[in-house]
Structure 1
Amino acid sequence: MTDTNKEFYFLEDGGEMGQLMRNRDWSKTPIGFPETWPQTLRTTISIMLNSPFPMFLFWGKKLKCFYNDAYRPSLGINGKHPSILGMSGKEAWPEIWDDIAPLLHSVTEKGESIWRENQLIPIFRNGQLEDVYWTFSYSPVKDESGNIAGVLTVCTDTTEAVNAANKLRESERRFREIADLSPVWIWITDAQVNVEYANKELLKYIGLGRSSDFTGQTWESMVHPDDIKLVYDGFGEAVRNEANFALEYRVKNASTDQFEWFKVLAVPRYEDKQLKGFIGTAMNIEQQKCFANNLKSEVEVRTRELEDSNIQLEKMNKELQSFAYISSHDLQEPLRKIQMFAEVLLDKEMDNLSKKGKDKFEKIQSAANRMQSLINDLLAYSRADTEKRIFKKIELQHIIDEVKNDLAEEFKKKNGQVTVEESCSLEVVPFQFRQLMYNLVSNSLKYSKQDVAPIITIKGEIVNELIISGLVLKQNTKYAKITITDNGIGFENQFSDKIFEVFQRLHGKQDYVGTGVGLAIVKKIVQNHNGYISATGEPNVGSVFQIFIPEIHKG
């Protein structure tokens, strides 16, 4: 400012725009030196420059342009600033003059004040023509004579807010479009669980035309009477705790008047950390419920059938016990007489019999002995299931010593030997486990090679389930592993499972005596101990049996 206009206080301060006005040579403009400006212009500019709110002044007949720092950001960069300062409105705003000129005319000619909110008025800024939304007012500025000398614009660039609102509306529109295409229910409530929005699938199901028809009473009319309390308690707890919730209840289908099961899920929604309501979904689970109910009924039927079967099984067990009694008494008695009379005849009438007669009597005696062995084996097989099991801690070596003693004559005849390389303790039913080891050892003696002394090796050790391969055993359980190896005639590995079946024989009865029940008894006893048995063999080399029994019996 020159010395001649320092007195013009109205241009002091005012930030960037105040500085520009002070430095400008106004003598080259139609407005002239500031000392010639009317007091109304001075006062208005002083108010405008010192206001934190965006302001723009159109002054005089040519509507010369003035604006403050707060308005400055609305002009962007590489645009109208600072060239439009002091320029006529028509020159400054050619791109929107046709839009704003009528508004300015209404103010200058009629003295009307104008208010517009979020109005789209594109302007040139930032090097291009941009769509800008404005909320503004046009107010008349009167001079000392009471005439309208200018128009004061108080405005805000609301582009970001409008764009955000438009995006929100677009987002809501897309949400509703997607929700209306969804086969599941989608709904939104306020904080009091009043429905604000329901998608088409939900409205169609309950027979409503629009979301606004969904009143508080709608819940009571659509929910099964037995489920009303469940619904109110569930929604009420969700509101109190501001928490997610999941409910299953029945809802009436408006087209059929039938109730169907739905699973309802919801989460709270917030604005500024305040609960505004819930957004949720619901899926028809009628088929799943029907399936579950049918399955429950089926289980109940099968349970009753199982109970009936158990009763029948008990009867059969009693019949089996009766059979065992008959086998041990009534059947064996005539068999003993057959054996006795055959021996008497062979002893006293041997010289009177022909060679063919002697052969037939010997066959009768052999058949009776096999029948006796078969009855005894069948009794042992049935007792393996029916007899009471009392588990005791025993030493493997002790069992083997008893078996060796029982088979001493057979070992002596064949010059055989049995060796316990390593023993271990295990919890078993003693008499059953003695029968098991007896059958395996006698089997090795029975199926030994001619002219070769049978050698049987037994090893016991404690292992865990990680060491055992090829078998699915209980986790966190230690097992007693017993291995019985012999040098007998062996067998093909394809028969490793078959040999444990009842009455299964790999060799003819003329070659090796036996009933085909011994190894079946072994397997039954192993199963009674919750264990496993396996067998491998090689013809003319020998056989290996492995038994796994839990080290400790657990009830």
Structure 2
Amino acid sequence: MNKNFYFLEDGGEMGELMRNKDWSKTLIGLPETWPPALRTTMSIMLNSPFPMFLFWGKKLKCFYNDAYRPSLGINGKHPSILGMSGKDAWPEIWDDISPLLKSVTDKGNSIWRENQLIPFYRNGRIEDIYWTFSYSPVKDESGNVAGVLTLCTDTTEAFKAANNLRESERRFREIADLSPVWIWITDTEINVQYANKELLKYIGIEHFSDFTGQVWKEVVHPDDIHLVYAGFAQAVENKAEIDVEFRVKNASTEGFEWFKVLAVPRLLEDELIGFIGTAMNIEQQKSFSNHLRSEVDIRTRELADSNIKLELMNKELQSFAYISSHDLQEPLRKIQMFAEVLMEREYDNLSKAGKVKFEKIQSAANRMQSLINDLLAYSRADTEKRTFELIDLKTVIDEVKNDLGEELAKKQGKVEVLSSCKLEVVPFQFRQLIYNLLSNSVKYSKLDVPPVIRILGETIDGSDSDDMLLITGISYAKITITDNGIGFDKQFSEKIFEVFQRLHSKQEYIGTGIGLAIVKKIVQNHNGFISAHGEPDIGAVFQIIIPSSQLAIS
């Protein structure tokens, strides 16, 4: 390259274009004829990493560097405008920029514009482009303005982002001002940088700029102000969220109401610059909570009183059990003994009517004895000490079958154990439970059909049952007892477990009406559940569910 072209050395793509261009065909002439001011400016521009554009001479010929090149896009003015007059190169914006250029060339003024909209053709179309630029005069050796140097930056994306941010902030404030909850932004000193209308109205401040950190002390309840400062101080130290409740004075009523305040930290490059948060009026919830707490206290005291009364009732029940087992049974035994003696020794001397009366006395005494025994069993189900042992269901059933051998033989009945399971029970009580259920099935069998009782024992998980009372992950023993007896109507499924409830007269079927009540109480003592279903003349089904291990449920 000609050493006189030193000012076109380097310069990247634009330097190469300038070196290879045939300048003889342009009005500006060959580079060796360029004036010193142009050469110096060109050297500075081509080697600058900052976008520059030069308008030179009376025709304002166009020159630019590599840093400016991306601003022209693709399928646009590059490289055709190199050396072209400004008017020909920029026809779409010439009316906008020529007055600015003229001010520089005629008066030597420098011009600065920020985020100026100057749309021009690039990327195959006219685009809206925002520029931050300066026009500066370039003087020749005589001190006259020979050109205009433009330093410029395409700020379109930044300008649009700023506009979007301002629009987003405007919408945020509009929405925040419509919110029924408080919305606020603070710095790290708790000075409020923004507060919505609901907050300002409540505390009686016109503008959030008046809401300094000191205002918190004026509006927060004196007993709660330490919560505010402590909550914010901890959040500042740890760059953490804020979750605190305190009372704030209502400017309209001068009364204090409870608010729940939640906030998250605002970070700028990991530096805490403040908080943005909300606050919700929880006065009603607090009042309800206090009322509920008061009600709970009252109910707790009532429950304590009830427990005392229950203990007294238990003592009375124990006294009753003692009386039943001693004082009541002693005269009853004498009645039974004398009635039996009279029946044995004087029966033939009695009239027919007398015989009937003595038989009724003996029958009534026996029923009284059964009733006392069942009442004792019912009371013991609550008062006996419970010692749980692991047993096999079939073992207990075999024992009860043996006890009921005579009744089963008399009615030609049978008990079938389809499957068994193991469970933890109080042996005496559980045996009583099985005895009562099986004896009931035998007792309430049909007159002309031998009773058949089928027992199915299985182990299930709480999740295997539709019963919402069972706990998932806990193992239960499920015992199903089915008979072919007289059954009962489904409306009595719950009633049959109540004390002294009989579905049939004592003339039809003997009993005291306590047996199934004892069964239910024993099941409850084992943290279990019992249900019954029946159909008249078809039979009954009793289902018992008891935890396999009492330790697992405790």
Change (3 A) 1:466 1:270: closer
Greater Cα offset, 230-239 or 90-99: 90-99
Residues 462 and 474 of structure 2 are in contact (CA less than 8 Å); yes or no, is this contact kept in structure 1? Answer: no
Q: 2:143 aligns with which of 140, 143, 146?
A: 146
1:263 alignment partner in structure 2: 260
Q: 2:487 aligns with which of 491, 501, 507?
A: 491
Residues 420 and 458 of structure 2 are in contact (CA less than 8 Å); yes or no, is this contact kept in structure 1? Answer: no
1:250 alignment partner in structure 2: 247
Pairwise mapping of residues 160-171 of structure 1 onto structure 2 (< 5 A)? 160-171=157-168
Matched, 1:214 2:236: no
Structure 1: gaps of 5 or more residues: none
Residues 462 and 551 of structure 1 are in contact (CA less than 8 Å); yes or no, is this contact kept in structure 2? Answer: no
Residues 462 and 478 of structure 1 are in contact (CA less than 8 Å); yes or no, is this contact kept in structure 2? Answer: no
Q: In the TM superposition, what is the alpha-carbon distance from 1:125 to its structure 2 partner?
A: 3.1
2:307 alignment partner in structure 1: 310
Q: In the TM superposition, what is the alpha-carbon distance from 1:204 to its structure 2 partner?
A: 1.9
Give CA-to-partner distance per residue, 1:89-144, whole Å, 9 cap, x none. Answer: 33433433333333333333333223333323333333433333222222223222
Residues 104 and 148 of structure 2 are in contact (CA less than 8 Å); yes or no, is this contact kept in structure 1? Answer: yes
Residues 463 and 473 of structure 2 are in contact (CA less than 8 Å); yes or no, is this contact kept in structure 1? Answer: no
Match of 1:276, as an amino acid? I
Matched, 1:42 2:39: yes
2:237 alignment partner in structure 1: 240
Q: In the TM superposition, what is the alpha-carbon distance from 1:293 to its structure 2 partner?
A: 1.9
Instruction: Give me the whole-angstrom Cα distance separating, in 2, the residues matched to 1:100 and 1:478.
Output: 88
1:173 alignment partner in structure 2: 170
2:100 alignment partner in structure 1: 103
SS at match of 1:100: helix
Quick check: which has more Rg, 1 or 2? 1
Change (3 A) 1:348 1:128: closer
1:509 alignment partner in structure 2: 506
Q: In the TM superposition, what is the alpha-carbon distance from 1:310 to its structure 2 partner?
A: 1.3
Pairwise mapping of residues 451-530 of structure 1 onto structure 2 (< 5 A)? 463-465=459-461, 472-478=469-475, 489-492=485-488, 494=490, 495-530=492-527
Give CA-to-partner distance per residue, 1:454-480, whole Å, 9 cap, x none. Answer: 677778x67343697566545555556
Q: 1:286 aligns with which of 280, 283, 288?
A: 283
Give CA-to-partner distance per residue, 1:192-245, whole Å, 9 cap, x none. Answer: 443222222222222222221121112222222222222222222222222223
Matched, 1:226 2:223: yes
Q: In the TM superposition, what is the alpha-carbon distance from 1:447 to its structure 2 partner?
A: 4.1
Change (3 A) 1:217 1:546: closer
Pairwise mapping of residues 303-342 of structure 1 onto structure 2 (< 5 A)? 303-328=300-325, 331-332=328-329, 335=332
Residues 529 and 550 of structure 1 are in contact (CA less than 8 Å); yes or no, is this contact kept in structure 2? Answer: yes
Match of 1:56, as an amino acid? F
Q: In the TM superposition, what is the alpha-carbon distance from 1:254 to its structure 2 partner?
A: 2.0
Matched, 1:298 2:295: yes
Greater Cα offset, 309-318 or 353-362: 353-362
Matched, 1:136 2:133: yes
Greater Cα offset, 489-498 or 68-77: 489-498
Match of 2:523, as an amino acid? V
Give CA-to-partner distance per residue, 1:274-331, whole Å, 9 cap, x none. Answer: 3332222222222222222222211111111111111222222333334444444555
Q: In the TM superposition, what is the alpha-carbon distance from 1:400 to its structure 2 partner?
A: 6.4
Match of 1:367, as an amino acid? A
Greater Cα offset, 417-426 or 123-132: 417-426
1:378 alignment partner in structure 2: 375
Greater Cα offset, 236-245 or 423-432: 423-432
TM-score of the aligned structures, taking structure 2 as reference length: 0.84
Matched, 1:62 2:59: yes
Match of 1:492, as an amino acid? F
Instruction: Give me the whole-angstrom Cα distance separating, in 1, the residues matched to 2:423 and 2:20.
Output: 110
Instruction: Give me the whole-angstrom Cα distance separating, in 1, the residues matched to 2:192 and 2:38.
Output: 57
Q: In the TM superposition, what is the alpha-carbon distance from 1:179 to its structure 2 partner?
A: 2.0
Pairwise mapping of residues 343-362 of structure 1 onto structure 2 (< 5 A)? 354-362=351-359
Residues 190 and 212 of structure 2 are in contact (CA less than 8 Å); yes or no, is this contact kept in structure 1? Answer: no
Residues 185 and 276 of structure 2 are in contact (CA less than 8 Å); yes or no, is this contact kept in structure 1? Answer: yes
Structure 2: gaps of 5 or more residues: none
Residues 245 and 258 of structure 2 are in contact (CA less than 8 Å); yes or no, is this contact kept in structure 1? Answer: yes
Instruction: Give me the whole-angstrom Cα distance separating, in 2, the residues matched to 1:246 and 1:353.
Output: 94
Give CA-to-partner distance per residue, 1:352-391, whole Å, 9 cap, x none. Answer: 7553444344334433432333233223322322334344
Residues 464 and 476 of structure 1 are in contact (CA less than 8 Å); yes or no, is this contact kept in structure 2? Answer: no
Instruction: Give me the whole-angstrom Cα distance separating, in 2, the residues matched to 1:259 and 1:409.
Output: 81
Match of 2:527, as an amino acid? N
1:196 alignment partner in structure 2: 193
Residues 462 and 471 of structure 2 are in contact (CA less than 8 Å); yes or no, is this contact kept in structure 1? Answer: no
Change (3 A) 1:289 1:128: same
Match of 1:266, as an amino acid? A
Match of 1:229, as an amino acid? H
Residues 74 and 157 of structure 1 are in contact (CA less than 8 Å); yes or no, is this contact kept in structure 2? Answer: yes
SS at match of 2:502: coil
2:68 alignment partner in structure 1: 71
Match of 1:227, as an amino acid? D
Change (3 A) 1:49 1:367: closer
Instruction: Give me the whole-angstrom Cα distance separating, in 2, the residues matched to 1:67 and 1:468.
Output: 81
Match of 2:211, as an amino acid? F
Residues 321 and 379 of structure 2 are in contact (CA less than 8 Å); yes or no, is this contact kept in structure 1? Answer: yes
Greater Cα offset, 229-238 or 444-453: 444-453
Match of 2:487, as an amino acid? F
Instruction: Give me the whole-angstrom Cα distance separating, in 2, the residues matched to 1:467 and 1:110.
Output: 92
Instruction: Give me the whole-angstrom Cα distance separating, in 2, the residues matched to 1:498 and 1:371.
Output: 23
SS at match of 2:224: helix
Instruction: Give me the whole-angstrom Cα distance separating, in 2, the residues matched to 1:41 and 1:469.
Output: 95
Match of 2:143, as an amino acid? G
Residues 419 and 458 of structure 2 are in contact (CA less than 8 Å); yes or no, is this contact kept in structure 1? Answer: no
Instruction: Give me the whole-angstrom Cα distance separating, in 2, the residues matched to 1:452 and 1:156.
Output: 106
SS at match of 1:278: strand
Pairwise mapping of residues 117-128 of structure 1 onto structure 2 (< 5 A)? 117-128=114-125
Residues 55 and 67 of structure 1 are in contact (CA less than 8 Å); yes or no, is this contact kept in structure 2? Answer: yes
Instruction: Give me the whole-angstrom Cα distance separating, in 2, the residues matched to 1:60 and 1:483.
Output: 110
SS at match of 1:161: helix
SS at match of 1:304: helix
Instruction: Give me the whole-angstrom Cα distance separating, in 2, the residues matched to 1:78 and 1:383.
Output: 102
Pairwise mapping of residues 272-283 of structure 1 onto structure 2 (< 5 A)? 272-283=269-280
Match of 2:254, as an amino acid? D
Instruction: Give me the whole-angstrom Cα distance separating, in 2, the residues matched to 1:400 and 1:88.
Output: 115
SS at match of 1:265: strand
Residues 462 and 475 of structure 2 are in contact (CA less than 8 Å); yes or no, is this contact kept in structure 1? Answer: no
